[in-house]
Amino acid sequence: MSFQLDLIKDKIEFFEAPSIKELEKKITEQITHNQAILLTVHSVSHQMHVTEEGNRFYSAVVHFKAQT
């Protein structure tokens, strides 16, 4: 029986939250987790949407890459 480990080189994660503070908290927490597997933030894209009721909704896409 052979056992092989493959390194993760790229990882894209999606986040959403009702407030910008909560979104930032979720992203920061995941950055810490991904640093443990040697991934760093390569890019971040974010958006805000306002519903018909006037509520704001925040989302973000974070691209993590392996440290070189």
Does a structural domain hold residue 4?
no
Q: Which domain holds residue 59?
A: 10-66
Structure tokens at 8: 């993760």
Q: What distance in Å separates the CA atoms of residue 7 and residue 66, rounded to the nearest whole number?
A: 8
Q: What distance in Å separates the CA atoms of residue 50 and residue 35, rounded to the nearest whole number?
A: 33
Does a structural domain hold residue 55?
yes
Does a structural domain hold residue 5?
no
C-beta neighbour count of 31 within 10 angstroms: 15
Q: pLDDT band at 1, cuts 50/70/90?
A: confident
Query: pTM value?
Result: 0.83
- pLDDT tens track for 7-66: 889 999 999 999 999 999 999 999 999 999 999 999 999 999 999 999 999 999 999 999
Q: Distance between terminal CA atoms of the chain? A: 31
Q: In CATH, what number is assigned to the domain containing residue 29?
A: 3.30.1660
Q: Which helix (H) or strand (E) holds 32?
A: helix 20-35
Does a structural domain hold residue 3?
no
Helix (H, G, I), strand (E, B) or coil at 50: strand
Does a structural domain hold residue 47?
yes
